[in-house]
Structure 1
Amino acid sequence: MADPWDDLRDREFPVTRGWVYLDHAAVSPLPRRSGDVVRAWLEDQQGHGVVRWPEWGKKLEAARDAAARLIGADRAEIAFVNSTTQGIGLVAEGFPWRDGDNVVVPAEEYPSNVYPWMNLADRGVSVRLVPGRDGRIWPEDLAAAMDARTRVLAVSHVEFASGFRNDLDLLCELCHGRGVALFVDAIQGLGPLTLDVRKTPVDFLAADGHKWLLGPEGAGILHVRRDWIERLRPLGVGWHSVIGTFDAPELDFRLKPTAERWEGGSFNMPGIQGLGASLGLILEIGPEAVSARILDRAAAVRELAAGAGWRVVGSPRPGDVAGIVAIEQDGVDPAAAASAFREAGIVVSARRGRLRVSPHIYNDDDDLDRLRAALEMSRRPRGGA
């Protein structure tokens, strides 16, 4: 019986013809269907200009529906953004701060989930960085950093360098019991993990689509929980932010009652259409099946890396891991190793002094065997046997 993952690999991922691609925590290759959609938009725009804009708009709204379905949100809670960074900035700058407030952030966060909060210093808002311990972030350490002036906890669903998975259910309880809003950078979580914001009621979430969601760069989502839409100050307001049409004879500044108020102007049409196609693939397979497959591939990478003599970094607890595998080896420079691997047709990354491997659903056992061989070879002294 044919393996459905092999069929998907052949049908949707032409990248496999030239590469063992294990760098989805950086930038993913597009599935064939997503590339087809982007190319079709390009030819349509070249040949017809604005004539078929209504059809583009329908595809945009279908992508919004797909994004909402992926995370269990209402479509009214979804706005399109051009990056996770933009989504974080909209929340950070629009939040109703008071002088003396503070934000709690794990110290190992990606810079884009630290700098926007630090940028609030001139508004009297301070950032409290909480270091990890024993390869993980401990909720009790985050709780200890909070006080009566803590307004936001900003965390990644999965930390970009270590691959540690934060327990969002537990953090929701921690935050909401203290009147603290929870912001989640979900770019490394959506795909390897499932999330239903009805069951895990995060307040805000941002994620670009170009990593595990297999979309183009420059097209992502911002989720604003419904009860925050009127409390979070809208930024970047423009013609699309309001109820009325841009062509109305009179100005009518009434903001949309949905997250679309953060979509001020024109859209990244090819990017969002490509993202919609990629989300359609994930929903077609099933988010739970996608998650299970990625976690299986990541577990196989951890096992083979250890067998090849590399140290797997981070907490080994099943509830702490996701799709990112961080590994290290004494005497091996990870940046040099990543470069050498790429020359051999294997794509991985070096992050914060470690080699980072991030497989996806279509990576097969042959891919992993080639990775194992490269890891074993990298430990041999130059000129040795």
Structure 2
Amino acid sequence: MKHQHITVDKTVDQQRRSLMGKIVAAPLAMGLASSFTTAVSAAPRETTYGGLNNSRRDFEFEGTFLNGAYMHPVATGAADAIKQYLDARLMNAGQQQVNMSGDRDTAIKLFGKLFNADADELAWIPSTTVAENLVVDGLGLHEKGSVVTDVYHFSGSLFMYNEFAKQGLKYTIVEARDQRIHVEDIAKAIKPDTRLIALTLVSNVAGFEHDLKAVCDMAHAKGVMVYADIIQAAGNTPIDLHGSGVDFAACSTYKWLMGDFGIGIMYARRDSQAALKRSQIGFRQEGKVITHYLPMDKPGYPLIETQATSGLSGIVGVGTLGNGAVAALAYSLGYLDKLGLDNIKAWRQPLLQQLQTEMPKLGFQPLTPVDSTSAIVSFAFNDDATKLYNKLQKAGVSVTVYRHYLRIAPSFYNSVTDIERLLGALK
């Protein structure tokens, strides 16, 4: 399907540079239509605090922001961490207070604590999509085997598999029924040569959440591995990586983890790492290195002897990280740990229920299962998208508007007042 992009004033990159700035276009390659996010500058900043544990006071965005699935705001503490990191880049007097390796260690430990994974099962990556490419390459799926995925998998991943199919990779897409992807339908799609099931744990389209353990149990019984894109769940929903049985998972950090662009974390179960070959090699994989060509080296041949480090980093680690984003992530993961992912999930449930009850009364068709507990709820509409966008823009309410549906993603800093403001703007 040809995409029809709706452009409203500025480009996506300009918006990302100014974070939650003015009116912007935000086309997302959903395979369905273009989208744009409503701005947050039309209403004055809240003067009273709200949210879980009064958390609204820790953020500086203006208006009513119900758009965490697009790009979650960072807390002021995370912004301060980035500013402190910049002391190291400025080489000023504050640089001694910056500990980049310490930030990396802190973030990895907190990620493992939050999502039940060990440090040797985690590795830094540039993005979620890079991790999925590393899995496809590492399993040798271009040469042997096939993949099963579904229509709720991230559109960039579906694009990837479709392009790889032109090079010979075999894959099958499972369709949705009743706004869900059913485990039995995934099972029926598995063929004798299927080696991987690739899915998005929480759909960025409408918030459907897979039963990850059920999928993994079914897949492993058939000798198939599972990869999960967890970007729309990590940071807002409890995830048990060990308990689920998932082989591989990954997420970038600029959404619900409240990090920034340019870094992500990949998970590979310890027992599953042996199936991955190193498709890319770089210094972040370095373990033991002995040289025989530098000053004071002991003469020897070969001139360099190398051995990769253990764990996932020794398989997929490559090069330089966005250390400013790591500094923000180290702070944010600690913040999320203190709030508690169970508390975050429980906090938003009344907000989601209110939306599921009231939005149909305004003529919006639910796209999300009514029993869904993810942080995303979507509704279809017949109105002109630009007209709807303008109404929300005028009210200072930010959600993501697509050509014929809108996506609402409340976070822990939101309250019933925010939902009522959205509903009032749509009436």
| TM-score, length of structure 1 as denominator length | 0.89
CA contact (8 A) 1:153 1:181 kept: yes
Q: Which residue of 2 aligns with 1:381?
A: none
CA contact (8 A) 1:328 1:334 kept: no
Q: Which residue of 1 aligns with 2:125?
A: 81
- Structure 1 position 245, deviation (Å): 5.6
CA contact (8 A) 1:338 1:347 kept: no
Q: Which amino acid aligns with 1:14?
A: E
Q: Which residue of 2 aligns with 1:251?
A: 304
CA contact (8 A) 2:180 2:369 kept: yes
Q: Which residue of 2 aligns with 1:380?
A: none
Q: Which residue of 2 aligns with 1:185?
A: 229
CA contact (8 A) 2:87 2:93 kept: no
1:13 partnered with 2:64: no
Partners in 1 of 2:290 and 2:206 — Cα distance? 47
Q: Which amino acid aligns with 1:5?
A: L
1:277-324: CA deviations, max 9, x gaps? 1111111111211222233432332233234342222322x2x44111
Secondary structure, in 3 states, of the residue corresponding to 2:114? helix
Q: Which residue of 1 aligns with 2:354?
A: 300
Secondary structure, in 3 states, of the residue corresponding to 1:229? helix
- Structure 1 position 258, deviation (Å): 1.3
Which of these residues, 354, 365, 370, is aligned with residue 311 of structure 1? Answer: 365
Partners in 1 of 2:109 and 2:204 — Cα distance? 27
Q: Which amino acid aligns with 1:366?
A: T
Secondary structure, in 3 states, of the residue corresponding to 1:188? coil
1:82-135: CA deviations, max 9, x gaps? 211111111112113374521011023222222333344366421101111121
Which of these residues, 125, 130, 143, is aligned with residue 169 of structure 2? Answer: 125
Secondary structure, in 3 states, of the residue corresponding to 2:117? coil
Partners in 2 of 1:170 and 1:341 — Cα distance? 39
Distance 1:339 1:75, change over 3 A: farther
1:326-373: CA deviations, max 9, x gaps? 01233x134542354134311110246311010100012221111011
Q: Which residue of 1 aligns with 2:28?
A: none
Partners in 2 of 1:49 and 1:178 — Cα distance? 59
Distance 1:76 1:346, change over 3 A: same
Distance 1:23 1:4, change over 3 A: closer
Which of these residues, 379, 395, 399, is aligned with residue 344 of structure 1? Answer: 395
Distance 1:48 1:119, change over 3 A: farther
* Matching of residues 356-375 of structure 1 within 5 Å: 356-375=407-426
Distance 1:49 1:175, change over 3 A: farther
Q: Which residue of 1 aligns with 2:73?
A: 29
Q: Which residue of 2 aligns with 1:283?
A: 337
Distance 1:52 1:228, change over 3 A: farther
| TM-score, length of structure 2 as denominator length | 0.80
Secondary structure, in 3 states, of the residue corresponding to 2:306? coil
Q: Which residue of 1 aligns with 2:253?
A: 209
Q: Mind listing any 5+ residue stretches in structure 2 that lack a counterpart? A: 1-48, 295-302
Q: Which moved more, 1:26-35 or 1:260-269?
A: 260-269
Q: Which residue of 1 aligns with 2:280?
A: 236
CA contact (8 A) 1:134 1:314 kept: no
- Structure 1 position 3, deviation (Å): 6.7
1:114 partnered with 2:114: no
Distance 1:115 1:50, change over 3 A: farther
Q: Which residue of 2 aligns with 1:218?
A: 262
Q: Mind listing any 5+ residue stretches in structure 1 that lack a counterpart? A: 377-385
Q: Which amino acid aligns with 1:252?
A: E
CA contact (8 A) 2:87 2:94 kept: no
1:327 partnered with 2:379: yes
CA contact (8 A) 2:87 2:98 kept: no
How many residue pairs match? The answer is: 369
Q: Which moved more, 1:47-56 or 1:202-211?
A: 47-56
- Structure 1 position 272, deviation (Å): 1.2
Cα RMSD (Å): 2.4
- Identity, % of aligned pairs? 24
1:68 partnered with 2:112: yes
- Structure 1 position 247, deviation (Å): 8.2
Partners in 2 of 1:105 and 1:292 — Cα distance? 30
Secondary structure, in 3 states, of the residue corresponding to 1:137? coil
CA contact (8 A) 1:210 1:217 kept: yes
Partners in 2 of 1:263 and 1:52 — Cα distance? 27
CA contact (8 A) 1:297 1:360 kept: no
Partners in 2 of 1:173 and 1:25 — Cα distance? 28
Partners in 1 of 2:254 and 2:310 — Cα distance? 28
Distance 1:141 1:239, change over 3 A: same
Partners in 1 of 2:281 and 2:362 — Cα distance? 53
Q: Which moved more, 1:334-343 or 1:156-165?
A: 334-343
Partners in 1 of 2:127 and 2:59 — Cα distance? 24
CA contact (8 A) 1:105 1:155 kept: yes
